[in-house]
Amino acid sequence: MTMSTAEGITPEMPPGEDELPCSDGVPMETERHRRQMLVLIESLELAWRDRDDFYVGGDMFVYFSAEQVRHNSFRGPDVFVVLDTVRRERKSWVVWAEGRSPDVVIELVSESTERVDRGEKMTVYARQLRVPVYVIFDPLSGALDAYLLDHKKRRYNPLPRDAEGRVEVAALDLLLGLHPTRVGTVDAPMLRWIDREGHVLPLEGERADEERLRADEERLRADALAAKLAEYERRFGALTAD
């Protein structure tokens, strides 16, 4: 479509996030899928709370072409991370408005979605969105596969795992691996972000637990030191009295 202006005919501005659909109304497969999505999003946001140069989204449409919009062919990654952008609320990720595609996409597969996630979506992420890292994880079985984009061939190659079964996400300077996690009613190994020192990026509740544990350890050390000093003073005082 075009529009008339005083200078002549100019192309109509493409739609933005306010004009495009932002939800298909389809919920996550299971509670564990939903919890897993939130664990990945919330832990990264907490770890990078002082940064304003990234965006992490989940179960949100990503728009990348006018043809996609015309055919209502929406793409909604379960989790995605974009670097070198502004951290703000969004209804959807519109590539032509943002000027960037996601740097990492994570799909949480199930029996009903695995064929599409490993087929059609994988092709779109490689050839059209050119997402550098694509991760496929099954929250129920714990199966983890990660891929690195070959930009010249526009296809994915498997990412190697380390001795602990983790995969490197170099762009984020993080690893992804399984870690025992309890959140809500779910208590199972979940996919977690891990830093270079091997520390799992904690959730808010886990961070509070760690701080309480450190405080308890410091208090025990202080009590032990106080007891040693009291014993020393008792013995030294007894010797002085003699």
Q: Which residues pair with 112 in a beta bridge?
A: none
Residue 99 near residue 69, CB atoms below 8 Å: no
Q: What is the pLDDT of residues 142-180, one digit of tens each?
A: 999 999 999 999 999 999 999 999 999 999 999 999 999
* 122 CA to centre of own chain: 18
As given in the structure block, the two tokens for residue 68 are: 């996609």
How much is the pLDDT for 38? 97
Domain boundaries, the chain: 11-201, 203-242
Instruction: Give the DSSP H/E element, type plus range, for residue 169.
Output: strand 167-169
Residue 159 near residue 136, CB atoms below 8 Å: no
How much is the pLDDT for 4? 39
Cα–Cα–Cα angle for 142, 144, 146, rounded to 5 degrees: 165
Q: According to CATH, what is the number of the domain 11-201?
A: 3.90.1570.20
Q: What is the pLDDT of residues 200-220, one digit of tens each?
A: 999 999 976 555 555 456 666
How much is the pLDDT for 33? 96
How much is the pLDDT for 22? 60
How much is the pLDDT for 173? 98
Q: Where are the alpha helices (H) located in the chain, listed in sequence order?
A: 31-47, 66-70, 95-98, 114-118, 120-127, 204-241
How much is the pLDDT for 21? 60
How much is the pLDDT for 66? 74
- Give SS3 for 71: coil
- The identity of residue 217, as a single letter, is E
Q: Which regions of the chain are under pLDDT 50?
A: 1-6, 10, 215
Cα 77 from Cα 116, distance rounded (Å): 12
Cα 201 from Cα 209, distance rounded (Å): 13
